[in-house]
A and B are shown apart, each in its own frame.
Chain A
Amino acid sequence: MSDLNLEIKQLIIESLNLEDLTPADIDNDAPLFGDIGLALDSIDALELAMAVQRRFGLRIVDSKETRRVMASVSALAAYIESR
């Protein structure tokens, strides 16, 4: 597990205050939103976008972009690395 992936997983768990969950439970490529995978909801999406902004200083402005960028842990890591 890369350090960035791990950091993102910890950020997800902490910023969304998720219980019964460790970074090892989150698959790098599993969808974060929707019915499978972590199944986060639209309010989580906003909270997570804000947490990413605070931690990495990256603003995800466009909502379509948000959905693509935060599709999975790997997608988010790729986005952060590209900036």
Chain B
Amino acid sequence: MGGLVELLAGRPENTWAICCENSLHFATSLFALWLAGKVPVFPKNYQVGTLQRIRESVDAVLRDTPALEQFPSIDVTQVKGAALRGAQISSTAHAIFFTSGSTAEPKQVIKTAGQIQAELSVLDGLWGDAIRGSLVVSSVPCRHFYGNVFGLLLPLVSGGIIDTSLWDPISMIRSCGGPRRVTWVSSPATLGRLPDVVAVESLKPGLKLVFSAGGPLPIAVPEEFRRALDFVPTEIYGSTETGAIAWRRQPCDGLWTVLPEVEVEQADEGCIRVRSPFLTDGNWLPLGDRIQLRQQNRFELVGRVDRFVKIEERLLSLPDMEARLRENSWLLDAVVTTVDLPQPRRTIIAAAIILNDQGRDELKRQGRRGFAKSLQKHLAQWFEPVLLPRRWRYPEKFPVNELGKLPADALQRLFLDGAEQENS
């Protein structure tokens, strides 16, 4: 890492986006940036459009992924150099994260190394003993705050052994075949599919601790874990801005227990607000989730208030995607929603589009398949593949009611009724 610190210290750029798939490369980049007095930036994903949107916060890129010609970069896999001696991270060290704001633009969140340290010491107090000496395998990329804290920094603090390469569900299953205790850092998307892929019993005796975050875990998963492994996953509730807030282990009353040093209140419209040493300042921060406080330090999550949806743990702002679609020269208007497919059981994104004359000509010329692919390609500049719409409808007008509102059920019918009728 010493070589990278030296190299960085000699560079004029101040803010560096970390685009590393491998968690060892990610950790090296993070600490080298801090030691060189630079500012690490955590992009939401490595799509070029995403990086361009946060262009003002990114001077250059540290990467183990292919180069992007728009940004100067250093390939961290090519940097050799001496070990570090007596290095210390400055007390002003900080990092920049991005979350989906309530507007179309990504919202910048600055965290100091001290705030991250405060969170790590609370987490270490709760789970450090269980993590120590275990092999930590994560299916959540390090660029996500949860994946970074639980999959990388917490094991470093607690003395876990980090596996830098295993991350997909099938490899995670294989990680349990060795002699070591295993800790998984995962999410409902992966854990929910586990019983379909493997007999959960076969994860015994290695698997001892499982974290899940990104959304509530369907109750069938902890029930299956309880039956097959005598323990259940530990679910974490939190956000990039707040860090971890609360945890729970189902089956239980479904309530979440607030972490030590974190305060939670029910604020406007029943929305949660949070205050903790993990947060940017000492003020209360309101979030978009509605809660019911049940007892002191325990609460129930009721749902989100705004038009954000979660698809496979990725938070998507529907207004954001609609705004991006409207930038396309073929269309007049767009409405984006989620549709629950019965088979395969998954929630997908669907888009209803009002075309202009040029768009109608293009649809005729390219056909439905080609036209949808063109629009997907347009959106892929900003959104990850799992978030791209898979159902497309091109109605003459939206099925609005007499009040001019678009009822959710009318919109759903549009997608579930099949694609052919609208062309008649």
Contact = CB atoms under 8 A, between A and B. Distances in A.
A22 to B, nearest CB: 9
A49 B193 CA distance: 12
B380 A35 contact: yes
Contacts of A62: 170, 174
A62 to B, nearest CB: 7
B170 A63 contact: yes
A1 to B, nearest CB: 18
A25 B419 CA distance: 17
B196 interface: yes
Given A16-B344, A20-B368, A35-B380, A46 B385 contact: no
Contacts of B385: 39, 41
B344 A47 contact: yes
A42 B95 CA distance: 29
Contacts of B380: 35
Nearest to A63: B170
B78 to A, nearest CB: 24
Interface residues of A, number: 21
Interface stretch (B61-69, B270-278, B386-394, B398-406): B386-394
Nearest to A33: B385
Contacts of A30: none
Contacts of A47: 344, 346
A39 B170 CA distance: 21
Contacts of B344: 15-17, 47
Contact of A46 (B193, B341, B372, B392): B193
Interface string A9-50: 000000111111100010000000001000101110011011
Interface in B154-188: 168-171, 174
B369 A20 contact: yes
Contacts of B368: 20
B interface bracket (residues with beta carbon within 8 Å of A): 20 to 34
A43 B346 contact: yes
A63 B391 CA distance: 29
Interface string B363-375: 0000011001100
A71 to B, nearest CB: 16
A66 B171 CA distance: 11
A50 B419 CA distance: 27
A66 B168 CA distance: 11
A21 B386 CA distance: 18
B197 interface: yes
A52 to B, nearest CB: 12
Contacts of A25: 369
Interface in B376-424: 376, 380, 385-386, 390-392, 419
Contact of A43 (B189, B197, B419): B189
B343 interface: yes
A43 B349 CA distance: 14
Nearest to B376: A39
Nearest to B377: A35
Nearest to A41: B385
Nearest to A45: B168
Interface in B30-68: none
B423 to A, nearest CB: 12
A59 to B, nearest CB: 10
Contacts of B343: 17
Interface of A: 15-21, 25, 35, 39, 41-43, 46-47, 49-50, 61-63, 66
28 contacts: A15-B344, A16-B344, A17-B341, A17-B343, A17-B344, A19-B390, A19-B391, A19-B419, A20-B372, A20-B392, A21-B369, A35-B380, A39-B373, A41-B386, A42-B168, A42-B386, A43-B312, A43-B346, A46-B169, A46-B193, A46-B196, A46-B197, A47-B344, A47-B346, A49-B197, A62-B174, A63-B169, A63-B171
Given A19-B419, A47-B344, A61-B170, 13 more contacts: A15-B344, A16-B344, A20-B372, A20-B419, A21-B369, A43-B189, A43-B386, A47-B346, A50-B197, A62-B170, A63-B168, A63-B171, A66-B170
